[in-house]
């Protein structure tokens, strides 16, 4: 209780502006040995089959495929939940939702967030001498003590929740299509389509809103700029760093990026994949230039694709949940079917992680917390049960053993080819509008 009181007290003092400058890229402190840096990139609503290295039909992830060839690709890697907030809470705590208390998504009107008695990965590493930053989508509470700056992150730049949870002047591609922000102070919320048109989506830098409404068409560029700037300044400080990037891609609305001249790549979703891939490539290139030998880069996703968005959703690859699909349901996001939680995952660390390796070990987003803590030489918080495992033996020792499970019901790789991949043609025009109304209000 004493530690919880101290956290709340520091949060209150910080909120008054006593501890955080407007923009904090100035890090100081002595170097404590050669501890590794960590870059964790979390995609949003990206399907297992959206990674070209996983699924040959995908041609839009050149940089990610290169990372897979230069590092380790996991084909049996799972999110801790099939929706947004619970999955992100598990990434930062190493604990399942029934332990950390986040079992549903936070809304614009939510006053709470990730419980304050939970210790985040950023807080653990900060105590171990790391400088920390979070860039992108947070979605773990946006009021007072739940803000990223009060959960262990020295620097924050991003949006507080999903970018469909507030109107913008660049609505992007979505189903149902939502209008731009109303002019002036007038509200034009359409309850029938459940679009968030009465609250303009904010973009934060630390505690300050620097843009409202957000221009979605320039968001990826801004994220890339801030991420590379942080890597540059943190490296120059001589201190190890943690950078956590929560991408807006591939959640709807998809930004109106320039479509490819290739007729096969004219889909907005493919254009969004290429924009995301370019953003990740810029971050990786920056790491390669200034901190290659001592930086561990981990890429994965928060859950599977939002299948109800039809052609604006990603690919589950072979994990189509044929029985569920035949009943008229979804095998992807929001479900416990495999397409809802099996996600792409890559690990990259030149000289440490072997190149061009495909791992079949059963691993999870839950394993990132204990693995990173162990590699940083830090200690897990006491009095807590952690649901992940230290994956070092898989990453560096050639082991193919992760979590132990029963073999019953397992699907072999030989069976994959016979499974039908869900395509946009499976979504007849207008057939899902009633269903979308129900799910849209949850804005996952």
To 10 degrees, the CA torsion angle through 143, 146, 147, 152? 170
Instruction: Verify whether residue 147 is a known catalytic residue.
Output: no
Residues 70, 281: Cα–Cα separation, whole Å: 13
DSSP state at residue 339: H
Residues 198, 185: Cα–Cα separation, whole Å: 9
The H-or-E segment that residue 12 falls in is helix 2-15
- Asked if residue 143 lies in contact with residue 123, where contact means CB atoms within 8 angstroms, the answer is no
Residue 158 CA, chain-centre distance (Å), reads 12
- Asked if residue 176 lies in contact with residue 431, where contact means CB atoms within 8 angstroms, the answer is no
Which of the following is catalytic: 78, 139, 147, 341?
139
Which of the following is catalytic: 78, 84, 147, 427?
84
Residue 180 CA, chain-centre distance (Å), reads 25
Helical axes 62-70 vs 268-290, angle rounded to 10°: 40
Contacts of 378-385 with C-beta under 8 Å, sequence gap 24+, read 378/124, 378/125, 378/127, 378/128, 379/124, 380/94, 380/124, 381/119, 381/124, 384/95, 384/119, 385/95, 385/99
Residues 208, 25: Cα–Cα separation, whole Å: 15
Instruction: Verify whether residue 84 is a known catalytic residue.
Output: yes
Q: Which residues are catalytic?
A: 84, 139
């Amino acid at each position: 209780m004493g530690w919880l009181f101290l956290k709340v007290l520091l949060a209150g003092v910080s909120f008054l502006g006593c501890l955080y400058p407007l923009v904090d890229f100035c890090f100081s402190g002595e170097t404590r040995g050669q501890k590794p840096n960590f870059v964790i990139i979390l995609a949003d609503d990206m399907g297992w089959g959206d990674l070209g290295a996983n699924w040959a039909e995908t041609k839009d992830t050149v940089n990610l495929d290169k990372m897979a060839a230069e590092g380790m690709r996991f084909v049996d890697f799972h999110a801790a939940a099939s929706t947004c907030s619970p999955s992100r809470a598990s990434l930062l705590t190493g604990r399942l939702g029934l332990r950390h208390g986040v079992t549903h998504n936070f809304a614009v009107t939510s006053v709470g967030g990730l419980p304050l008695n939970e210790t985040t990965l950023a807080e653990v590493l900060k105590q171990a001498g790391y400088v920390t930053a979070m860039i992108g989508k947070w979605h773990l509470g946006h009021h007072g003590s739940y803000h990223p700056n009060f959960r262990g992150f020295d620097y924050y730049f991003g949006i507080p929740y999903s970018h469909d949870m507030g109107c913008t002047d660049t609505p992007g591609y979505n189903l149902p299509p939502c209008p731009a922000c109303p002019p002036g102070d007038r509200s034009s919320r359409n309850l029938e389509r459940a679009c968030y048109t009465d609250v303009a989506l904010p973009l934060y830098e630390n505690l300050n809103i620097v843009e409202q409404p957000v221009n979605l068409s320039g968001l990826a560029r801004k994220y890339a700029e801030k991420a590379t700037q942080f890597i540059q300044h943190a490296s120059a400080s001589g201190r190890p760093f943690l950078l956590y990037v929560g991408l807006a891609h591939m959640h709807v609305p998809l930004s109106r990026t320039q479509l490819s001249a290739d007729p096969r790549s004219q889909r907005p979703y493919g254009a969004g994949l290429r924009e995301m891939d370019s953003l990740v490539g810029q971050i990786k290139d920056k790491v390669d230039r200034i901190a290659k030998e001592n930086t561990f880069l981990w890429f994965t996703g928060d859950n599977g694709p939002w299948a109800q968005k039809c052609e604006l959703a990603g690919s589950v690859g072979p994990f189509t949940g044929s029985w569920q699909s035949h009943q008229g349901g979804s095998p992807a996001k929001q479900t416990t079917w495999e397409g809802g939680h099996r996600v792409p995952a890559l690990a990259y660390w030149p000289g440490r992680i072997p190149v061009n390796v495909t791992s079949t070990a059963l691993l999870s987003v839950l394993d990132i917390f204990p693995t990173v803590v162990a590699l940083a030489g830090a200690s897990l918080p006491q009095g807590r049960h952690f649901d992940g495992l230290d994956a070092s033996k898989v990453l560096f020792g050639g082991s193919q053993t992760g979590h132990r499970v029963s073999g019953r019901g397992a699907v072999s790789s030989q069976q994959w080819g016979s499974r039908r991949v869900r395509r946009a043609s499976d979504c007849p025009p207008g057939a899902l509008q009633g269903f979308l109304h129900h799910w849209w209000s949850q804005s996952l």
